[in-house]
Structure 1
Amino acid sequence: MGPLLIVLLLALILFGAGFALHLLWWIAVVVIVLWLLGFVLRGTHSGGRRRWYRW
């Protein structure tokens, strides 16, 4: 009974980690797209230094 619980717990942990990593990849893709859009859509004001973000 003990080894079965260990295997089930390990499977649950690996499934949770896989789901979290998959979600983090999608979040990273969205952030990169928004960052690139910031370069494309930024306006050229005096000096060209104005940006819509603060980084």
Structure 2
Amino acid sequence: MGEYPGYPDFIKTVKNRMRRLLKKMGKKEYLPPHSLRHTHTSLLAEAGVSLPENMERLAR
């Protein structure tokens, strides 16, 4: 476990990879890794996953 519970140990690596992929796609905006959490939640809701189940999944 990292120094700060609840935070990934390698957030900088994820951030760098996302920035590199966005650049390859020709996107000028920065998309923080946390935005994927919101996308994941929206996709679960769209797929009909119940709110309690969605919340449980995000708590992991």
Same-fold status (TM-score > 0.5): no
Please report the TM-score for the alignment, with normalisation by the length of structure 1: 0.35
Which structure shows the higher helix fraction? 1
Decide which structure has the larger Cα Rg and report it: 1
